[in-house]
Chain A
Amino acid sequence: MSEPTTIGPRLSRRRLLQYGGALGAAATSSFITVRSLAADTAEVNMQLGWLASNGILGEVCAKRLGYYAEEGVELTVTPGGPGVDGVASVAAGRAGVGQLSSSPSLMLARSAGIPVKAFAAGYQKHPFTYFSLADNPIRTPEDMVGKTIATQPTAVILLKALLALNGIAEDQVEVVKMGSDMNQLMTGQAQAVTGWMTNTNALKILGDDRVDMMLWDAGIQLYANVYYTTDRMLADHGDVLVRYLTGSARGWGYARENPEAAVDHLVSEYRNLDRAGELEAVGPVLGFSFDGTTATEGWAAMNAGNWQKQIDVYADLEQFKGETPTVADVMTTDVLAATEALRKQIG
């Protein structure tokens, strides 16, 4: 996954307008969420929160190897892009399922009254990381005191959460904004920059004396590559979601067993991707997808306790403009439960 910026976006005016437009569209138009093709085939549109990347490695494999076809699912993938996380598209019913880069977007959308709900988590740990250099390293949150941290505008809130969690006053750390580049660290303007651990090209630029402090390890535990859908889809087409997740699980299982072949599938499907870069990234991608949790609970597992903690962090920081959502609002384990046997074999 190469997406370095959108993590926990605040609801901007524009985004609210987008959501509003989405709801309006949902109410008035005839967008089709799931279309039955044959008696036993459903067309599922998967909306991404970012461009097509290694975040859908398993889906691409499942599609190309016919796993979805065997489940009676015909999958199309719709990419998002900068400033477009796809929630509006899923909420409007244009896409049946969506994948979000980070879980906070989903909580914020729910709080804004958008009826979307997570049903699986692609990455068990969020790969968002604070990168520093060995001559002025940041290994723990305490190391940030007195330093300048460059982070994406949407991730400032995470830094605040991290500081609050560790009892560090906000004025003890200088926060500056950054885009997708790592220059502020390389030129010494900042002592840490942020990005995803799976973005191997960015890490290459930082060189060998890089010091990583992953947000997850520092105490803010978010999910990444969250699979979500609408309440209506869950109610009306739960069986399609189960079939979809079954296909995805098999695809990810294949990718885990055959990383190189999986990369070949990915770059054949999306020719703009760089094969060499993807081969380097596939290790970390699988590392975040499969860990101790998935070994016992299966691929894409997530738990309610962790969601509650995330809601609490955001509620404490007064990020919810609407009502604070409950765990039941933001996630369901129904689809996970229905696919448990297979996922456990793969995890």
Chain B
Amino acid sequence: MTGRHEEAGWTAPAPAPAAAGNEAGCAAAGRGRNDPPPGTWRRRAPAIAAAAGLLALWQVIVSGFGVPTYIAPSPVQVLQVFVEQGDILWLNFWPTLMEAASGFLVGNTVAAVLAVWFVHSQLAERAFYPIAVFVNTIPIIAVAPILVLLLGNGYAPKIVIAALICFFPTLVNMVRGLKAVSPQMLELMRVLSASGREVLFKIRLQSSLPFLFAALKIASTTCVIGAIVGEWIGSNYGLGSLIIEATYNFRAPLLYATVILGAGMAVAAFTIVTLVERRVLKWKPPEVF
């Protein structure tokens, strides 16, 4: 158990044995089932150190070579924006979060429902799969103005754009996952006189989950990009709108801060999906991330 701890730690039902001995073990002594396993900090330390090192290097280069702010602001200047213009950043954060989250929900739900339909109806798959591929190939930046024209300037076009971006990876993965059932298993279900519904809920959905989560991880970051791209057109608020405002008015530190906030939102969404995946897919060996 102790030896495998690092691999199995996320879902281990029992607290870590105190015998682990090292500092990670001590830190883990009181942890519950969802706490990070021992060794987490040791594993993450290189990433944190690398990030801190890069930030320091960035600061040194910018101040050492006297790089003008409009080309590259220093990390300190960017941090100042978070402190001094935090209200503006948050004002623009919430609309984007709302659009990204709604787009994520809508896009993935539609994709999952379609995937189930495709698996049950070859006709539907033949008819609509190519159209889904076609829709996916349309550059979002070209379709965005048309969506704004059709749906107005509210949240709707942004949510649709975020949903469109989420839709395709989930559809492809979900179809693949629903079909990734061994013929023997289907044979067995048939022998047991299982209904189509039972096959779907007891076999196919289970087998599709790892595929679904892989897609959701992609979607969790791209939905934020979708919302931001949607906001480039016709918004007064939202991170996308703030990016345009900052870019064209040469407010470089604000631009950097906005981009960092957007990236933070995407990373947070990714982390949430990863945590949910670990809870749901208990049988699946955890991944490196």
Q: Interface size of A by Cβ–Cβ distance < 8 Å?
A: 38
Q: How far is the CA of A17 from the CA of B247 in the complex (A)?
A: 27
A89 nearest in chain B by CB position: B149
Task: Please provide the chain B residues from 193 to 251 with a CB less than 8 Å away from any CB of chain A in the complex.
Answer: 232-237, 241-242, 244-245, 247-251
- A272 near B233 (CB under 8 angstroms)? no
Known: A205-B70, A272-B241. A83 touches B145 (CB 8 A): yes
Q: Cβ of B149 and Cβ of A88 under 8 Å apart? A: yes
Q: In the assembled complex, which residues on chain B have CB atoms less than 8 Å from the CB atom of A273? A: 245
| Bound Cα distance A139, B244 (Å) | 31
Establish whether residues B234 and A81, one from each chain, have CB atoms under 8 Å apart when the complex forms. yes
Q: Are A78 and B250 interface neighbours, CB within 8 A?
A: no
* B248, A18: Cβ atoms closer than 8 Å: no
Q: How far is the CB of A63 from chain B (nearest CB, A)?
A: 13
Residue of A nearest to B258 (CB): A272
Contacts of A92 in B (CB 8 A): 149
> How far apart sit A157 and B88, CA to CA, in the bound complex (Å)?
38
Which B residues touch A342, using CB under 8 A? none
Q: Does B148 contact A (CB under 8 A)?
A: yes
A1-40 CB contact bits vs B (8 Å, 1 = yes)? Answer: 0111000000000100110011001000000000000000
User: Is the beta-carbon distance between B68 and A180 smaller than 8 angstroms?
Assistant: no
A-side contacts of B71, CB under 8 Å: 183
* Cα of A272 to Cα of B149 in the assembled complex, Å: 24
How far is it, in angstroms, between the C-alpha of A4 and the C-alpha of B88 when the chains are bound? 24
With an 8 A cutoff between CB atoms, is A334 at the interface? no
By a CB distance below 8 angstroms, the chain B residues around A18 are 145-146, 149
In angstroms, Cα B68 to Cα A180, docked, is 16
A277 interface residue (CB < 8 Å to B): yes
Judging by beta carbons under 8 Å apart, are A271 and B88 in contact?
yes
How many residues does chain B have at the interface if contact means C-beta atoms less than 8 Å apart?
30
Q: Provide the bound-state CA to CA distance between A79 and B141, in Å.
A: 17
In the assembled complex, which residues on chain B have CB atoms less than 8 Å from the CB atom of A239? none
In the complex, A201 has a CB within 8 A of chain B:
yes
Please state if A272 and B237 are interface contacts (CB–CB under 8 Å).
yes
**A284 at the B interface (CB under 8 A):** no
Given the contacts A4-B248, A94-B152, A205-B250, A80 and B233 also touching, CB distance less than 8 Å: yes
A85–B216 CA distance with the chains assembled, in angstroms: 35
CB distance from A282 to the nearest CB of B (A): 14
Task: Please indicate the chain B residues that have their CB under 8 angstroms from the CB of A201 in the complex.
Answer: 249-251
Task: Enumerate chain B residues within 8 angstroms of A84, measured Cβ to Cβ.
Answer: 145, 148, 233-234
Q: Are A2 and B248 in contact (CB under 8 A)?
A: yes
Evaluate contact between A272 and B250: CB separation under 8 angstroms: no
- Is B153 close to A, CB under 8 A? yes
Contact among A4, A88, A180, A274 for B145, CB-based, below 8 A? A88
- Is there a chain B Cβ closer than 8 Å to A173's Cβ? no
Is B260 an interface residue, CB under 8 A from the partner? no
Give the residues from 267 to 294 in chain A that come closer than 8 angstroms, CB to CB, to chain B: 270-274, 277
Q: Knowing A2-B249, A274-B251, say if A83 contacts B149 (CB, 8 Å).
A: no
Does A51 belong to the interface (CB within 8 Å)? yes
Judging by beta carbons under 8 Å apart, are B245 and A21 in contact?
A: no
A202 and B248 CA atoms in complex are apart in Å by 8
- Residues 71 to 92 of chain A near chain B (Cβ within 8 Å): 78-84, 88-89, 92
A137 to B241, CA, bound (A): 35
Any chain B CB within 8 A of the CB of A330?
Answer: no
Cβ distance B80 to chain A, nearest Cβ, rounded Å:
14
Within A146-193, the residues touching B (CB, 8 Å) are: 180-183, 186
Complex: A181 Cα to B251 Cα, angstroms = 11
Interface residue? B142 (CB, 8 A): yes
Task: Verify if B188 is at the interface (C-beta below 8 Å from A).
Answer: no
- Interface flag for B288 (CB, 8 Å): no
User: Which chain A residues border B70 with CB–CB below 8 Å?
Assistant: 181-182, 205
A184 to B179, CA, bound (A): 55
| Cα A181 to Cα B247 with chains together (Å) | 8
Residue B92 interfacial (CB < 8 Å):
yes
Cα distance, A94 to B249, chains bound together (Å): 28
- Asked if A270 contacts B146 (CB within 8 A), the reply is no
Give every chain A residue within 8 A of B235 (Cβ-Cβ): 79, 81
B150 on the A face (CB < 8 A): yes
Confirm or deny: B91 has a beta carbon within 8 angstroms of a beta carbon on chain A. yes
Instruction: Identify which of residues 251-276 in chain A touch chain B, using a CB-to-CB cut-off of 8 Å.
Output: 270-274
Is the beta-carbon distance between B236 and A79 smaller than 8 angstroms? yes
Given A92-B149, A205-B70, is A78 in contact with B234 using a C-beta cutoff of 8 Å? yes
Q: Is A52 an interface residue when CB atoms closer than 8 A count as contact?
A: yes
Q: Which of A14, A52, A89 touches B142 (beta carbons < 8 Å)? A: A14
CB distance from B256 to the nearest CB of A (A): 14
Q: Residue of B at shortest CB range from A20?
A: B146
Residue of A nearest to B231 (CB): A81
B149 near A51 with CB under 8 A, answer no
Interface residues of B (CB under 8 A from A): 68, 70-71, 88, 91-92, 141-142, 145-146, 148-150, 152-153, 232-237, 241-242, 244-245, 247-251
Q: List 14 A-B contacts (CB under 8 A).
A: A3-B248, A21-B149, A25-B149, A51-B245, A80-B234, A81-B241, A84-B145, A84-B148, A84-B234, A88-B145, A92-B149, A182-B250, A205-B70, A272-B88
Give me the interface of A with B, judged by CB distance under 8 Å.
Answer: 2-4, 14, 17-18, 21-22, 25, 51-52, 78-84, 88-89, 92, 94, 180-183, 186, 199, 201-202, 204-205, 270-274, 277
Known: A18-B145, A272-B91. 14 other contacts (CB 8 A): A2-B249, A17-B146, A18-B149, A81-B233, A88-B145, A89-B149, A199-B248, A201-B250, A202-B249, A205-B250, A270-B236, A271-B91, A272-B92, A274-B251
In the A-B complex, the 7 residue pairs with the closest CB atoms: A81-B233, A201-B250, A84-B145, A201-B249, A84-B233, A78-B153, A272-B245
